[in-house]
Structure 1
Amino acid sequence: MLQDYRRLSAYTSEERIIPITRAALLKKLHEGARKAGVKEIRIHDLRHSHASLLIKAHCTPVEVADRLGHKDPSITLKIYSHMYAAQRTKIADMLDDMQE
């Protein structure tokens, strides 16, 4: 995606694609956690939260894999299969409700 962005935009190699450094983002993340009185998390934890939200929004493993950049949805399922198990329970409950 970044390569497409560079190719299709007026991006030059001297510019930052993301206008914040990793260190600055981490500092803001930790400051926000401190102000909110919650546990500090790593930047990578935001990726897991993003994936979890997509799964709760009923996105398929293929859609989540594409969003996370996994080459194969089996990678996504290996990491997040427990979340999809919860979805299966909801589906079973929904089918039970339809029979009533």
Structure 2
Amino acid sequence: MRGYKQVAWVRFIPLLFAVVGMPLVLKMVPPNPYYGVRTETTLASASVWYKANFWAGLVAVVLGLFAAGANAAIHRSASIPDNMKMLMTVSATVVVAGAMAVAGIIAS
């Protein structure tokens, strides 16, 4: 198994969520079967699509930036063991992804 230092790039994944969420916040992504919150409800109505994806994108941007900052602090910490750094980093990523999905579904 690879050590944390070899896969430290994982800490940047929440930043990717923030980047991917920005077009959703700006309502630049029309209804489509590939990108955004894709449910029967959101695909049936453009207004529901934009509302649900706005909220999902906003959560992705805010939590993605927060988690990226937290991951940077975790990565720099000398007092946290490497195995815990990986667990904390992956957990932050899962929280961002889950919150983004829940926000979009609730808004729809």
- TM-score computed with the length of structure 1 as normaliser: 0.27
**Which structure's residues are more often helix, by fraction?**
2
Instruction: State the structure with bigger RCO (CA 8 A, min sep 6), 1 or 2.
Output: 2
- TM-score computed with the length of structure 2 as normaliser: 0.26
Which of 1 and 2 has greater Rg? 1
